[in-house]
Structure 1
Amino acid sequence: MASTLTASTRERYPPQIKYIIGNEACERFSFYGMRNILTVFLIQYLLVNQVPDEAARQTAAKAAFHDFVSLVYLFPLLGGIIADRFFGKYRTILWLSLLYCVGHLLLALYDDNRQGFYTGLFLIALGSGGIKPCVSAFVGDQFTEENKGLVKGVFALFYWIINFGSFFASLFIPLTLRSFGPAVAFGIPGILMFIATVIFWAGRHHYTNVPPTRCDREGLFGKLLWAVFGPRNGFIWVVSAALFPKKKVPGAKSWLDQAASAGHPPEAIESARAVFRVMGIFAMIPVFWALFDQKASTWVIQATKMDLMVGSFELAPSQLQALNPIMVMLLIPLNNFVLFPWLERKGIQITPLRRMATGMFITGFSYVLVALIQLSLDGGNKPSVLWQAGPYLVLTLGEVLVSATGLEFAYSQAPRQAKGTIMSLWNFTVTVGNQLVSLVARLNVFEGMAATLFFYASLVFAAAIVFALIASRYQVRDYYMPATPAPAGAGEHAIPPVAALGEKKAL
């Protein structure tokens, strides 16, 4: 009877999950709703009077868009620090969500004022980026040992609801911009963000709130240093001790082992070593993001020049982005349950690093396709915007192979003590990739869009080759939680045993 009751209990999600999922659906609609019309709005509305030349206006809009995305993926580091070290996840999410709402309000009110509009963009980047690491972790906090089997299902639902919100935002908000203007088009996402905040607040009495980590430093300056760099055995402290050792450690096998001279334990040194291993894998990932995020800038600019009529209905230039979330929801199960098992039955090992390298090559081919479309446009033709559906399919396949796999791989390669650092580095690759696009746009060294598109295709092909070479030398080490409780006295930061997977070459 006891086992039956336990099984029954495990079948039900905690009641507070509905508030978090509802919040995420509305928040993602609000974010993608404003993000996916941003490039078109800048070109057709905000920058018209300030930048009369259309080509220059497109360049300025593209740079501004990618600067915004860069900030969105830079602020998760700040949000994580605030939540983990000071205020906890619930209060961090709630307070940053309120700033997020103010940002949307400024977009709707200052659609003809650059200073007011860009202030709104900054607040949205701060709010969206700041809550990004907190919300997903907050979901996990709601589960215990009793119902931990439901965690995988709730994260699948979490990912699905993100794409659900993105799809409807991409489908309807571009039409709203064209039919009702920017104030309404930015106002609707703002209303959805306010609803998201209210939904999240409504669950306040039901949440499990994990308190922030206790700070053992005195004074404001000491607390800030501790917040940024973490506890004494954190990554920054270990690297500093290794670079400037108090004394030489006899028999040290690498420079990081010198950190033992400052009293850092072996598990902390191993965590720092894992961060450096994964940084080598991450080195080429920004190039992927530089291409992927241009679907909302360069590809939208291209769509404005194409035939937008589909039968008797006219699509908005930004609307084809709705294909991406639909394709994600279709391709992930197709890959996981059909393609990958079939390849493995054929004797082809589908390791995470092989998937990521393949995804980068595939992403390059999507840019070859859009470059060919651009050559047709430059030749005086006006092909249907539906020709972009093919490149969207190829790009989305690259996304599911690189993005979803990379996040899973990074998490598995990080000891528990370094998981936060490595997840922050993963988000930072998005920032670097978007800054690369912003820099190239501002330098404006290419004649015409086709040349720019072929440049990016060549860049990601080269990055994929370098990635494959780095990966071929990477020794996979999966860090698992121990099957038995840690021994007494192991301490808060004890590292689970390391299981090194068989072969040295993972690719």
Structure 2
Amino acid sequence: MGMSRSQSCFGYPLSIFFIVVNEFCERFSYYGMRALLILYFTLFIGWDDNLSTAIYHTFVALCYLTPILGALIADSWLGKFKTIVSLSIVYTIGQVVLAVSSINDLTDGNRDGTPDSLPVHVALSMIGLALIAFGTGGIKPCVSAFGGDQFEEGQEKQRNRFFSIFYLAINAGSLLSTIITPILRVQQCGIHSKQACYPLAFGVPAALMAVSLIVFVIGSRMYKKFQPQGNIMAKVAKCIGFAITNRIRHRSNKFPKREHWLDWAKEKYDERLISQIKMVTRVMFLYIPLPMFWALFDQQGSRWTLQATTMNGQIGVIEIQPDQMQTVNAILIVIMVPIMDAVVYPLIAKCGLNFTSLKKMTVGMFLASMAFVAAAIVQVEIDKTLPVFPNGHEVQVKVLNIGNNSMNISFPGETMAVNQMSQTGDFMTFDVDKLSINISSTGSPVTPVTHNFEQGHRHTILVWAPNHYRVIKDGLDRKPEKGQNGIRFVNAFDKSFDVTMDGTVYVNVTSHSASEYQFFPSGKKSFTINSTEISQQCERNFTSPRLGFGSAYTYVMGRKADGCPELSVFGDIPPNTVNMALQIPQYFLLTCGEVVFSVTGLEFSYSQAPSNMKSVLQAGWLLTVAVGNIIVLIVAGAGQFSKQWAEYILFAALLLVVCVIFGIMAQFYTYVNPAEVEAKFDDDEKKKNPEKENPYYTLDSVSQTRM
């Protein structure tokens, strides 16, 4: 039996603090794991961007579909408290399995970092993610509703404030984890060779999930716990089904019309249940347009992160990695929620405006739509700076002179002199059928370049003597992804050499040829040259110029007069110039939209639901998030846009249309006070049975039967 008056602190039930700490740890665990997910798929498992994005959004959708199961278990079987405990155990196991799946068994010393037994890793990580989706989804509708249950009648103000605090805990957890786990990921660890440290980065969220569970259980004695009310969802579904079939059965005009379509269930179900379902269906009807908001919101983790990879992360003295830009959202939330509560809403009320929950949500949708317009504008700026690559029937060529004499190179329409250790500027574009190149130098015959150039690609021609050249196809047909920088080495020596750079070994770069590009994050890199041709007295250690984001370079190792190696650096693709700070306006708009949309939506769902159907509406609310993620899969999959900004504009336009529809629907919604409706039924019950003072009824108007 719960205490009639729970212990309180600052006017809040003491039990609330355990629930908030539990939520903070759980969200840290979830978002910390989710921040790494897309990079884990692409860099560790080795899937391409499209498959990784699809699996990412499918996982997120699953996390928001399973709340229906959680609500069913809580309402019809275990009650909220036991559901939260048992599913948290499942969740913790899932996090541990995912962390184990990322332990690389590099027994054969794979250099590329991909695991040996890939199917085992994929299977384990999918099992882990399935358990996590079931765990996190299952407890979602229970935790916030369980928190709301801790308040007494007359504590509406504190309860509304609790939802804001609860949302802050969610975002403080996600903020810290999205800063911390990417830092853990880039640590080097491993038994046989040093790799990105996924086991540590996934292990910390797993540990926090265990802490979350322990904290929640410690508060057990203080909670108000209510008996499960029976499978309310099944009851709701049956009642709605009966009303519809009954209405169809009595379609003829002989039967008088009824005020509401649910009134057709009166033959079988009592009025209390029918009036409760009316409240729920009216709110659920308003939910229909909401998934479009989440479709835009959840692209921060996919499309916006990929946009950040084409930008420059140097903001003042700080250098930001593309996957850390998501923290801007969490930082702004932590700032904006208190400002909205303490300043903006009271100001609007002072001006005499009735800023209802649904009006706030409409404004939130509009702001999210504008955020995608801002993203499209940034994308247009980025597109201006992107290098031009050859089309299908074209080739691009540049000449790099790694010899000791000046050379003359003639292309169709022009001849140019290329001095030693220099190149012909940028890549030049030619039609593949009309391309003819000749190399000559003073006093030597002309050498035509005979090479079957692959159309649609870039080529570098290495020249070191009048009749000596080599054509190399560049492996790059787009800017390096995820803000990485491509580096390849050209060997101007007569014998091969090895290069060790930042833990990567370029083995056996043969004489007068180029290695493949290898990719590195920003910053300065040190490397060492090893060759039998270089005498022991020579300096073999070099430091690269500072690398930005998204560039590519050719490092030519030439020979000085004393025979020692000398580094010459040539740019192939310039680094990103559009600064990541330009993403801040779009994050700001989306976050303002989220604050007025999401916090308000949670409050609204709770305040408009009858006491025994809170979790049904919570599950409905979370279902809109799942559908939103499915919309991303459909729109991104179906509309193959040649320009990314066009996709952003499409999403913005779709949400704008939905926003207008929602605004119109909101005008027709009348707010109810479920407690008053319940009380009316209680009074009617008393009048019918004055001798039957059943405590069940009086308690039911407050909430559900106590344990």
TM superposition shift of 1:353: 2.1
What is the total number of aligned residue pairs between the two structures? 467
1:253 corresponds to 2:259: yes
Amino acid at match of 2:211: I
Aligned pair 1:27/2:26, yes or no?
A: yes
2:30 and 2:89 mapped to 1: Cα distance? 14
Map of 1:504 onto structure 2: none
Letter in 1 for 2:200: V
Per-residue Cα deviation, 1:373-412 (whole angstroms, up to 9, x for no partner): 2222222253111211111100001111211222222333
| Cα deviation, residue 298, structure 1 | 1.0
Q: Is structure 2 residue 198 aligned with structure 1 residue 182?
A: yes
Aligned 8 A contact 1:14 1:142 in 2: yes
SS at match of 1:261: coil
**5 Å matches for 1:63-462?**
63-111=54-102, 113-144=121-152, 151-180=159-188, 181-213=197-229, 215=230, 226=231, 228-230=233-235, 235-245=236-246, 248=250, 250-262=256-268, 264-380=269-385, 382=576, 383-462=578-657
Deviations 1:86-105 (A, max 9, x none): 12222221221111111111
Q: Structure 1 residues 307 and 208 mapped into 2: Cα distance closer, same or farther (>3 Å)?
A: same
> Which residue type is aligned with residue 487 of structure 1?
D
Residues 274, 202 of structure 1: CA spacing in aligned structure 2 closer, same or farther, 3 A cutoff? closer
Amino acid at match of 1:65: Y
- More off after superposition, 193-202 vs 60-69: 193-202
- Residues 399-408 or 481-490, more deviating: 481-490
- CA deviation profile, 1:70-94 (whole Å, cap 9, x unmatched): 1111111111211221122222212
Q: 1:453 to 1:178 in 2, by over 3 A?
A: farther
The range that moved more, 57-66 or 69-78, is 57-66
Shift of 1:119: 1.5
Structure number with higher helix proportion: 1
Q: Match of 1:68, as an amino acid?
A: F
Q: Which amino acid aligns with 1:179?
A: Q
2:280, 2:609 within 8 Å by CA — same for their partners in 1? Answer: yes
Following TM superposition, by how much is the alpha carbon of 1:144 offset from its aligned partner in structure 2, in angstroms? 4.9
Give CA-to-partner distance per residue, 1:266-324, whole Å, 9 cap, x none.
33223333333223321111000000011111111111221122345432212122222
Q: What CA distance in whole angstroms lies between the structure 2 residues aligned with 1:396 and 1:114?
A: 34
SS of 2:227 mapped into structure 1: coil
Instruction: Give the distance between the partners of 1:338 and 1:183, measured in 2 at CA.
Output: 44
- Residues 1:361 and 1:96: Cα distance change in structure 2 (over 3 Å): same
Describe the shift of the 1:451–1:156 C-alpha distance in structure 2 as closer, same or farther (beyond 3 A).
closer
Q: Which moved more, 1:386-395 or 1:368-377?
A: 368-377
Partners of 1:344 and 1:17 in 2: how far apart?
Answer: 28
Cα pair distance change 1:104/1:338, threshold 3 Å: same
Matched letter for residue 355 of structure 1: K
SS at the partner of 2:672? strand
Q: More deviation in 305-314 or 430-439?
A: 305-314
1:119 and 1:64, CA in 2 relative to 1: closer, same or farther beyond 3 A?
same
CA contact (8 A) 1:67 1:434 kept: yes
| Identical columns (%) | 34
Tell me how far apart the structure 2 counterparts of residues 21 and 466 of structure 1 sit (CA, whole Å): 35
Closer/same/farther in 2, CA of residues 416 and 358 from structure 1, 3 Å limit = same
The CA distance in 2 between the partners of 1:24 and 1:412, in whole Å, is 21
Contact 1:10 1:149 (8 Å CA) reproduced: no
Q: Aligned in 2, Cα 1:282/1:21: closer, same or farther, shift over 3 Å?
A: closer
TM (norm. structure 1) is 0.83
CA shift at 1:135, angstroms?
1.8
Q: Which residue of 1 aligns with 2:425?
A: none
| Aligned equivalent of 1:38 | 37
Go from structure 1 to structure 2 and tell me whether the alpha carbon gap of 1:116 and 1:410 turns closer, same or farther (over 3 Å shift).
Answer: same
State the distance in 2 between where 1:45 and 1:434 align: 24
Tell me if structure 2 keeps the 8 A contact 1:241–1:261: no
Alpha-carbon distance change, 423 to 7 in structure 1, aligned in 2, over 3 angstroms: closer
Confirm or deny: 8 A CA contact 1:245 1:261 kept in the other structure. Answer: no
Alignment partners' CA distance in 2, 1:342 and 1:402: 18
| 2:77 partner amino acid | F
Alpha-carbon distance between aligned partners in 1 of 2:665 and 2:222, rounded to the nearest angstrom: 47
Distance 1:8 1:432 in 2: 40
Per mean C-alpha deviation after superposition, the further-off stretch among 69-78 and 35-44 is 35-44
Which residue in 1 is equivalent to 2:529? Answer: none
Decide whether aligned partners of structure 1 residues 8 and 183 sit closer, same or farther in structure 2, where only a CA change above 3 A counts: closer
Structure 1, gaps ≥5 residues long: 1-5, 52-56, 216-225, 498-507
1:422 Cα offset (Å)? 2.5
- Relative to structure 1, the CA distance from residue 100 to residue 302 in structure 2 (aligned partners, 3 Å threshold; closer, same or farther) is same
Residues 31, 177 of structure 2: 8 Å contact kept: yes
Give 5+ residue unaligned stretches, structure 2.
Answer: 103-114, 116-120, 189-196, 387-575, 687-693, 703-707
